[in-house]
Amino acid sequence: MILVKPSFRIEYIPVDGLKFIEQAGRTCYKSEDKITEDSAGKFVNMVIRKGHDSVIEHANMTVRFICDRGVTHELVRHRLCAFSQESTRYCNYSGGVKFVIPPWVDIEPGNYYSSLNLSNSFRTPSVYGDWFWMMFCAERSYQNLVKGGWTPQQARSVLPNSLKTEIVVTANFREWRHILRVRTSEAAHPQMREIMIPLLQRVKMIVPVIFDDIGKPVIFDDIGKVVENES
């Protein structure tokens, strides 16, 4: 049994995404003659501030997440995405199962096949030990069922939400703005926030004009139009 922490990797983000958005967006105004070397950021910031979010749909980003299946059950609710996920029907975990440690469980990542790690697990508080042994028993049950002739798609019925999975998600910038706004809020599940907040911090460094306003309170005028974001 291997215990891991969640992680992500940005697989693709367009180097010239802002310029591509500007080239497409200026078609609306026939203002292509105003394109300069540094005009893309200003143009994209303008369309976002005005609520013309459809323009930023011209650029996509792909992210690979390593997380538990409970998180992916929520993630795939976002409809305007392409998803490719590790399949428990076809992946055979009889050689060893990986589980994702929840942020509220104080157990170190590692390979818990060794007797040293198994003995150390007894030193954790009982509530953490309960989670640990549930994962241990789930792995043992899965492996016994496969050895007894069950197929992976049958044996998966004993695997919990904490099962580690990988999912690759592609969406346009507008949808990513929605995902990151919803999934980093205080109302989001702790495990979702655990992985989405670092992703938001990363993309703010890469393309700040697209994501920098997320996580800041929004001020509206009397007719409901966005006036400004507080810093």
**In Å, how far from its chain's centre is CA 215?**
16
68: enclosing H helix or E strand:
strand 60-68
Residues 77 and 172 in one domain: yes
Structural domain contains residue 73: yes
Domain count for the chain: 2
- Beta-sheet pairing, 218-220 with 98-100: unpaired
Residues 71 and 39 in one domain: yes
Print the domain residue range for 153: 93-158
The low-confidence residues of the chain, meaning pLDDT below 50, are 115-116, 218-220, 222-226, 229-231
pLDDT digits (tens, 9 = 90+) for 165-224: 999 999 999 999 999 999 999 999 999 999 999 999 999 999 999 999 998 654 445 444
pTM to 2 decimal places = 0.87
CB neighbour list of residue 43: distance below 8 Å, 6 or more residues apart: 18, 21, 22, 25, 26
Residues 136 and 105 in one domain: yes
Instruction: Return the number of other C-beta atoms located less than 10 Å from residue 66's C-beta.
Output: 19
pLDDT at 118: 55
Residues 171 and 99 in one domain: no
Structural domain contains residue 137: yes
